[in-house]
Homo-oligomer: A and B are copies of this chain.
Amino acid sequence: MATPVQENLITSNKSYAANFDKGHLPLPPGKRYTVVTCMDARIDPAAAFGIDLGDAHVIRNAGASAKDALRSIVISQQLLQTQEVLLVKHTGCGMLTFQNSDATSIVEKNLGPEAVTAVKDQFGGDFLPFKNLEEQVKEDVAWLKENKAIGSNVTVSGWVYDVTTGKVKNV
């Protein structure tokens, strides 16, 4: 018995597949770039950032963390020859609203001490929250530029997307 969310996936995908004509696209991104952005529900990277199907890798995680995305970025560059990264964080990000201690307390209250242990064991207990949006974009960009796992030929730029206006700006 499918849930409403699963039913929506099945029904929507039927319409999508019925009109699908991009089955010929190759694996490597045609425009050889990678977008790192947040998982936030208010962001549609393809539409808002002009990414046509087949153009770019799109990595998304809570907060658009460069650190969290590093494995995927290295694969994108080393195995699929991308040469540029656009790192896009956004206004109103949930990661600006809590600290690790808050998140840990919530996990403990909802799921018990075993869940706190699981979080520590599985990703070190760091939820990667941050305090200042533009500063964190700059920090992540600098971290990638200096990272020895990233080729020095790779161009990295940082951006902020405003979820209330739909506009991006370079920072």
Contact = CB atoms under 8 A, between A and B. Distances in A.
A165 to B, nearest CB: 6
Contact of A72 (B31, B62, B78, B118): B62
B16 A33 contact: no
A86 interface: yes
A127 interface: yes
Q: Which range contains the number of A residues in contact with the other chain?
A: 35 or more
What is the predominant secondary structure among interface residues of chain A facing chain B? Answer: mixed
Interface of A: 3, 5-6, 8-13, 15-17, 20, 22-25, 27-31, 33-34, 39-42, 44, 46-50, 53-62, 67-72, 74-76, 78-80, 84, 86, 92, 94-95, 98, 103, 106-107, 110-111, 114-115, 117-119, 122-123, 126-128, 147-149, 151, 155, 157, 159, 163-168, 170
